Structure 1
Amino acid sequence: MAESADLTAAQVSQASLRALVDFDAARQRVRDRLAQLTDGSQLLRFFVHYASWNGHFANGVSALSSLLGSSRNLFREEGFPRAVADRSNYIASYFFDAARDEYDDHINPARDSHRCMAQAALISMKDFFKLGDDALEEDEPAELVAVNDGVLAGYTGQPAVADGRAAQAFWAIGYHLGSELLADQEFSLIDEHLRAQQPALVHHLMRSTVQLAGGTHRCYAWVGVHSGHGGGVEADHFDYALEGAHSALRFLVGGDTATAVQALNNGFRAFERDHASFFRIGAA
């Protein structure tokens, strides 16, 4: 079992995933997009779009957990009778950790979903820039709707459905790994940009709270807990997901790990493409 664990860790690692995409280019497109936000209205519109996109990931990772957990015939441990051999829920547990945090950060005494955190930030930004409620009423552009729809497709491995349940599951795992690895760096870049270019806004957000959904929500918590400079939850979620990927490979029925890793890598690349698509929305 130790030899098998070493093999799966070598097949999928942070280094192997980073080699699949140009992370320098990904960081630069975030910086370039932020640099174009020259007034309060533009900044708020960007964050409305960003919060909308981010708001779909809790549902996506929940769907991934369900997809994996219901795949009993796909993940089994050798040497055990059928009724006690499936490891699908065990594997799903590594991904459910991310969903649990998305729905409640467990720091705020109130139930504080990351969606509520984002909404508190948007309300406080609107007030800081003295913008009306109309700024939060705009319809979502078609490009954003398409990227948002892509989240659930990626998290359920829909592009790989025709290749079988294993390819679907590992594509979805790869998509999630991409979301966690790139999200940590993008929130860190956003945090850096705001602190350097909008210090008064950051000061306002850090001192402000908003009442919504029956609770009090801190207005900079959304950026703070996701940034590597703050709580860094994305980095923790990536580590959990990597362990989940290793377990999925180790317990994969049939042992075709090469095909599974290829599907996982394809899912990872798919997230990077969606990431690029989002940061083109509204760009000059």
Structure 2
Amino acid sequence: MQIELNHEYFQGLVAFEECSDRVQNSLESLDGNEQLVRFFARYASWNGRFANGVSALTALIGDQRELFMEKGLPRAVADRSNFIASFFFDAARDEYDDHINPDRDSHRCMAQASLLGMAELLGTGPGVLNEEEPLSLQEVNAEVRQGYMGLPALAEGVVQQVFFGMGFHLGSELLADREFSIIDNFLRSRHPDLVQRLMRKKVQLAGSEHRCYAWVGVHSGHGGGVEADHFDLAVNGAREALRYIDTNHQVEALNGLKRGFQAFANHHRAFFEIVRLRMAL
């Protein structure tokens, strides 16, 4: 195949700027400190599902020994499924321990530290953080694992399922890189004092100290940019997957990859629409 998998290829599959506008418009619509904290609580809830999703995808890929084979080698030493899965595992490894904090620091704990710091510094108290999640948010959260496991394509066979999951992950990483950069810009321009105080503040979680702005900082393209790194790794993993899959399945595999990426863009739209509609509730 003469298709080069890169940023431009995947951005061309969706209305990429609309995705960015969706994030910006959601932030612009926030009215007051309580809504700001509520937005981040729901955003953190949604984001917290992706670690488990990419872990499930890693296992799904690794299990496909018969699908990814290196030609010219004996059967017992020819399967490349774990090699391909390793490119996706790197994202899961960072999600569960960022390695910036000398103590164990999952991205979920980093997000929770941000929420605690925001609620305290903005004076909203624990009320917003104790709210039950709307059913619509719970439903969207459940779709994350389904997407990573390629379940929407399950009935069409394992090739479609596995590559759909890869595409879903690629969508999450590419859009999140822009997403967190927009959030970082918004906070720094509209709430500069809050950002400075969060950057200095630490809270106790899971037996250790966690910095209150690290979550946004390491994900934003202005900071650590881990999402961009994870996207590049996943692209390399998809390239290797296409390299080792039987040539008879390559068109089918590429189709699954595209469908998964586009499915994440639709999922992204659903989340931000729900957040905007339910923000005051």
Common fold by TM > 0.5: yes
CA distance in 1, matches of 2:159, 2:132: 38
CA RMSD between the two structures: 1.0
Separation in 2 of the partners of 1:205 and 1:195? 11
Per-residue deviation, 1:16: 1.4
- 2:98: which partner in 1? 105
Contact 1:67 1:156 (C-alpha < 8 Å) held by counterparts: yes
Distance 1:186 1:113 in 2: 20
Write the letter of the residue equivalent to 2:80: R
The amino acid that maps onto 1:22 is: A
Partner of residue 160, structure 2: 167
Q: Is the 8 A contact 2:159 2:249 kept in 1?
A: no
Map residues 229-244 of structure 1 onto 2, 5 A cutoff.
Answer: 229-244=222-237
Residue 15 of structure 2 corresponds to residue 22 of structure 1: yes
Matched with 1:119 is 112
Which of 258, 261, 265 does residue 265 from structure 1 map onto?
258
Q: How far off its partner does 1:11 sit?
A: 4.5
CA offsets per residue over residues 243-271 of structure 1, 9 Å max, x none? 00000001013532111111110000000
Aligned equivalents of 1:12, 1:54: Cα separation in 2? 25
SS in 2 for 1:26: helix
Structure 1 contact 153–159 (Cα < 8 Å) conserved? yes
Q: What residue identity is the alignment partner of 1:18?
A: Q
Q: Following the alignment from structure 1 to structure 2, what is the Cα–Cα distance between the partners of residues 236 and 58?
A: 15
Q: 2:95 touches 2:106 (CA, 8 Å); kept in 1? A: yes
Which of 173, 176, 186 is the equivalent residue of 2:179? Answer: 186
Instruction: Look up the equivalent residue of 2:238 and give its one-letter code.
Output: A
Contact 2:42 2:275 in 1 (8 A): no
Q: Which residue of 2 aligns with 1:41?
A: 34
Structure 1: gaps (5+ residues): 1-6
Q: Distance in 2 between matches of 1:103 and 1:204?
A: 26
Corresponding letter in the other structure for 2:205: L
- 4+ residue runs of structure 1 moved beyond 3 angstroms? none
- Which residue number corresponds to residue 4 of structure 1? none
TM-score (norm 1): 0.96
Q: Which residue type is aligned with residue 222 of structure 1? A: W
Name the counterpart of 1:77.
70
Counterpart check, 1:200 vs 2:201: no
When normalised by structure 2's length, the TM-score is 0.97
Structure 2 residue matching 1:282: 3-state secondary structure? helix
Counterpart secondary structure, 1:210: strand
Distance 2:234 2:178 in 1: 17
Deviations 1:29-55 (A, max 9, x none): 111000011211000000000000000
Structure-1 separation of matches of 2:189 and 2:123? 21
Does the alignment pair 1:251 with 2:244?
yes
Structure 2 gap ranges (5+): none
1:89 Cα shift? 0.1
- Residue-by-residue CA offset, 1:184-215 (whole Å, 9 max, x unaligned): 00000000000000111101110100111011
The residue matched to 1:133 in structure 2 has which SS?
Answer: coil
Which position in structure 1 is the counterpart of 2:215? Answer: 222
- Verify: 1:62 aligned to 2:55, yes or no: yes
Secondary structure in structure 2 of the residue aligned to 1:211: strand
Question: Which is further off, 21-30 or 219-228?
Answer: 21-30
Measure, in 1, the Cα distance between the counterparts of 2:274 and 2:256: 28
Structure-1 separation of matches of 2:67 and 2:249: 11
The equivalent residue for 2:128 is: 135
Corresponding position of 1:145? 138
Partners in 2 of 1:74 and 1:163 — Cα distance? 15
Distance 1:276 1:48 in 2: 18
Distance 1:59 1:141 in 2: 21
